[in-house]
Structure 1
């Protein structure tokens, strides 16, 4: 069994190891990506197809110190209104290129803080999305809710727009930890938000909670998890805090000396994990938990679960279009990311252009490696025979990609009759094992595999 020292040496606690919500990771997208290419990809979506859609709202009333997302603070509604107007223009540009009959199966508003929008902005933006492409029957429409930035009028607007799933970031309920990470959000105000959602018939709730924050202890972690469970979520993401101040300057405000050790992080994770399992949640992949009746666990059980920029998902759409600054779209042909700076994004769209700035065109190797990586992270196993049939490859070609894995990470996997399986004790190393198949990253021994 791997010791904690070995796990640390292999990079388990290294924030630079990709989470593989895309392959290749977004850090390998190429700049100067052609808007004409993206336009062609949109036009190639078949008539009557179902797609997924993401709306990015990059504004926050306050900037949490722990957060590494691309956001900007605002004290008033004027820049938010200008941004919403621009997103509506981008939606119209996409609509011009979409084939007839396309519908949205999964719609997600994220950020930033989507609930920073005033009620009339919510109504206006939701109508613009539906004008571009209507929601399919039984579509899932989820919104990231900030309990500090929600009220009855905005909840009414979201419910009227069709929201049927809410996502709430909890992080930690301890007031002292909240102060240290710049995220004041009491249990009481979070409970009020959840009750407001349920009063409006929105019963599906997923929540994020973090381990590895400064000053977290086993006892504080347990208290926060128990409070979260009292809110009745049906899905939880248990993310490890990634301290990357070289990427997120705000994190320099977080006291490094108060961060838990690798051993402490593992204890915090296991504390939360055991409480979720005891409460009837199923463990999904590397960092998710869901009730047996939740759609994610159903997909997990039947083998249809996928992985995208929101993490684990039951979404099976081949197309995910993102609008707004820095949003990323996935098409069968590749990835495209919009201009990350809000000003540049708005300038491009208002000039009548699609705002893509970076991207990646898939080749055959990307499809093969990406599928193996996805299966490893979703199921902790990859049936290479199945992948070969699915992607019209030879088994020998896929087996060759496994070469050197056992030497690089001994006693972590088995490969029998073309089925690669992660051993039970090595499941915490799934991201590291996945990296062995990544032609763009560094392998576990530190040698470049880039091609």
Structure 2
């Protein structure tokens, strides 16, 4: 690809796990507002839960999550007490007992939690909600701190899917990002999960890491493929040291440039496709039999703060420090400070720090961007049917964007679709519809 075009389409833009994106959340949405929003949700509709565990026993330098390293378990115990208190607060705020169809544990490292506390969390959730018999329960796993007792505890909890961080198997890259994890460690956990009857396994790989080349990345992809996971995610490393200070420990001169990152992304995607994995959205791949691939084929693929998902619940409850939730009325985010979070929920109040109430225009653009990120297209007529006939200036705006993007997109007056040439750059194309981006002072990671 020409250097000038590559520069235009690898510019920093949001990842669009929401619209508007998190930098536009504000303090005008507080705990009282959140409690009111919860009480107004439809009791007939199921909800999904995200529980955040903001601790690791070793901090990886590439990490962009809200987490911190701890050497003792005491802070985790104190935090879990607060998490259970927030679960009770949330259940009490609803107008009626709610049904849960999906649960996701993220971090940090949820596999730091001890077996007794895993069981206590499940008991608390059962006391507060009605979990569907087929509730999808996904756990993010660090193979370095997973053992047999913890795996059995998560199996009893109801885990249906495990997502394992791999990042890169090359030892030089691992040293450069402070994450030493052998192939054998990962293989052992994958096999143990399968022996325990866990039916869906995902592996995460990152391109654009320090000292990484296309050749070393493809070796990691091949090793990951040898374990035949149900899904793989191939993420671009987001170097944001102005947000995550520990990323400054990475030698910036050792990071691949835009052209090298692009080559890595294309080569990795091609290798996964050759191995029989269906490409989904911008960075996910799955076997044809996987539920994510089935959802994509049926046009039901969704995108939220956990990435691509089959979860169609209109209410996602974020639990824990820094967690983000989405309700029909808008977004909320808890305080990122674990100390402030614990103090708030112990005092009987939600730890809501900020949020965003959606306008009619936000809902339309949000649906449009999610459709681009999931399906690489959207329909003006579909938006009219979903939101009413008045889309304002959107049809004219869409035609203008189509003209400016040239061969990257097609537009026939109804369907706007991204061409094969434009697929790697759909984040940038989606950003053309973002009515908040130009006025924002937020900094973002590279699009590819």
Does the alignment pair 1:106 with 2:102? yes
Matches within 5 A, 1:38-437: 38-394=34-390, 397-437=393-433
Residue matched to 1:448: none
> Residues 364-395 of structure 1: CA distance to partner in whole angstroms, max 9, x if unpaired?
01001111111111111111101110111336
CA distance in 1, matches of 2:422, 2:45: 40
Partners in 2 of 1:326 and 1:387 — Cα distance?
Answer: 32
Distance in 2 of aligned mates of 1:31 and 1:218: 43
State how far apart, in whole Å, the 2-side matches of 1:329 and 1:130 are: 20
Secondary structure of the residue that 1:79 maps to in structure 2? helix
In structure 2, stretches of 5+ residues that fail to align are 440-448
Deviation at 1:397, TM superposition (A): 4.1
Q: Indicate conservation of the 8 Å contact 1:48/1:101, yes or no.
A: no
What are the superposed Cα offsets for residues 192-246 of structure 1, whole Å, 9 maximum, x if unpaired? 1111111111121111100111111222111100111111211111100111111
- Give the distance between the partners of 1:4 and 1:43, measured in 2 at CA: 53
Cα distance, 1:433 vs structure 2: 1.0
Q: Equivalent residue for 2:443? A: none
Match of 1:5 in 2: 4
Q: Distance in 1 between matches of 2:404 and 2:108?
A: 39
Secondary structure of the residue aligned to 1:209 is strand
* Distance in structure 2 (CA, Å) of the matches to 1:397 and 1:130: 47
Deviates more, 1:400-409 or 1:49-58: 400-409
Q: 2: CA distance between counterparts of 1:149 and 1:275?
A: 30
* Secondary structure at the counterpart of residue 30 of structure 1: coil
1:85-143 per-residue CA deviation (whole Å, 9 max, x = no partner) reads: 00000011111122434211110000000000111111111221222112213111000
- Pairwise CA distance, 1:3: 2.3
Between 354-363 and 244-253, the greater mean CA deviation after superposition: 244-253
* Alpha-carbon distance, 1:4 to partner: 3.8
Tell me if structure 1 keeps the 8 A contact 2:402–2:411: no
CA distance in 1, matches of 2:82, 2:63: 25
- Indicate the SS of the match to 1:43: helix
Give the TM-score taking structure 1 as reference length: 0.95
Partner Cα distance (2:349, 2:243) in 1: 29
Checking the alignment, whether the CA contact within 8 Å between 2:6 and 2:259 is kept in structure 1 is: no
CA distance in 1, matches of 2:434, 2:402: 16
Q: Which range moves more in the overlay, 334-343 or 124-133?
A: 124-133
- State the 4+ residue runs in structure 1 displaced beyond 4 angstroms: none
Counterpart-to-counterpart distance in 2, 1:437 and 1:165: 34
The whole-number CA distance in structure 1 between the counterparts of 2:125 and 2:436 is 35
Which residue in 1 is equivalent to 2:445?
Answer: none
Q: What secondary structure does 1:64 align onto? A: coil
2:26 aligned with 1:26, yes or no? no
Contact 2:51 2:105 in 1 (8 A): yes
Shift of 1:331: 0.2
Segments of structure 1 that go 5 or more residues without pairing to the other structure are 444-451
Query: Is the CA contact 1:377–1:434 (under 8 Å) kept in the aligned structure 2?
Result: yes
8 A contact 2:399–2:413 mirrored in 1: no
SS at match of 1:144: strand
8 Å contact kept, 1:48–1:100: no
What is the aligned length?
440
Q: How far 1:37 moved relative to its partner?
A: 1.2
Residue 402 of structure 1 aligns to a residue whose secondary structure is helix
Q: Larger RCO: Structure 1 or Structure 2 (Cα < 8 Å, ≥ 6 residues apart)?
A: 2
Measure, in 2, the Cα distance between the counterparts of 1:356 and 1:419: 39
The root-mean-square deviation of aligned C-alpha atoms, in Å, is 1.5
Match of 1:411, SS state, is: helix
